[in-house]
Homo-oligomer: A and B are copies of this chain.
């Protein structure tokens, strides 16, 4: 496995030098390099190249096709921010769905709510789940993890079979290229709406509000056609290019800005608390202007 490193997407090693992982951000004509302490795992699944590395700066990292996805040092920010806004806003989420989120981070966040009875994690690539279980996610020993059901399918097909049965849905879609393209169609937003119960809530990861503003704009526009309550929100994730990242929450009944913040499981969070929850809806002026 430690041979042929130069042939893995994103990795580069010059003779006796250290191994580096290079993430290319074409929208910014920018590259970000991470010094790799150890390449722990590499495999090619039917969908993508999956690797796990240890880095000095960001700890252990899941990498797909050469792009860092989640790290042990800052992954808590993404996991908490995609999960708790909706889970706290809904008064009693029982059935939760997730499309993507293969590292299981968001599902563990969702389990912190006692009302939860079932979490369906829909991930097209079974190998991602298995690699994360082996290398990234320590066994929590929590009996409630039996609530988490893994479904190895295309999220676009799965969502069409869900009708009025999800209280909370989290959509951790990758960029709008390749297999994830369908998750950006207007029809997909309709399927999402139909999958939710009458007081259901959905959250979309919606890309960088700095260099990829069309994802955020289109997500807000598409959801606003269907849902009475739509709010973009942001947080800062150090391993994401540019740092600032956006999400959109859309809700049929409950407004996140009026959420009962005593529901937040603050004993077990590292990023979010009631103040941070509310501040995340305050968009810098240049982002407000994008959405005008």
Contacts and interface: CB of A to CB of B under 8 A. Distances in A.
A282 B286 contact: no
A222 to B, nearest CB: 25
Contacts of A27: 57
Contact of A276 (B20, B28, B271, B285): B285
A138 interface: no
Contacts of A285: 266, 269-273, 276
A135 to B, nearest CB: 19
Most buried by B among A27, A28, A236, A284: A284
Interface string A57-77: 110000000000000001011
A20 to B, nearest CB: 8
Contacts of A235: 284
A31 interface: yes
A210 interface: yes
Nearest to A31: B33
A57 B241 CA distance: 12
Copies in the complex: 2
Contacts of A282: 275-276, 278-279
A50 to B, nearest CB: 22
A32 B32 contact: yes
A1 interface: no
Nearest to A282: B279
Interface string A27-42: 1111111110000000
Interface in A250-292: 266, 269-273, 275-276, 278-279, 282-286, 288-289
Contacts of A271: 284-286
A45 interface: no
Contact of A279 (B210, B240, B270, B279): B279
B242 A211 contact: no
Interface of A: 20, 25, 27-35, 55-58, 74, 76-77, 210-211, 234-238, 240-244, 266, 269-273, 275-276, 278-279, 282-286, 288-289
27 contacts: A25-B57, A27-B57, A28-B34, A28-B57, A29-B56, A29-B57, A30-B32, A30-B34, A32-B33, A236-B236, A236-B243, A236-B244, A236-B284, A238-B241, A238-B244, A240-B243, A242-B243, A243-B243, A266-B285, A269-B285, A270-B289, A271-B285, A271-B286, A272-B284, A276-B283, A279-B279, A279-B282
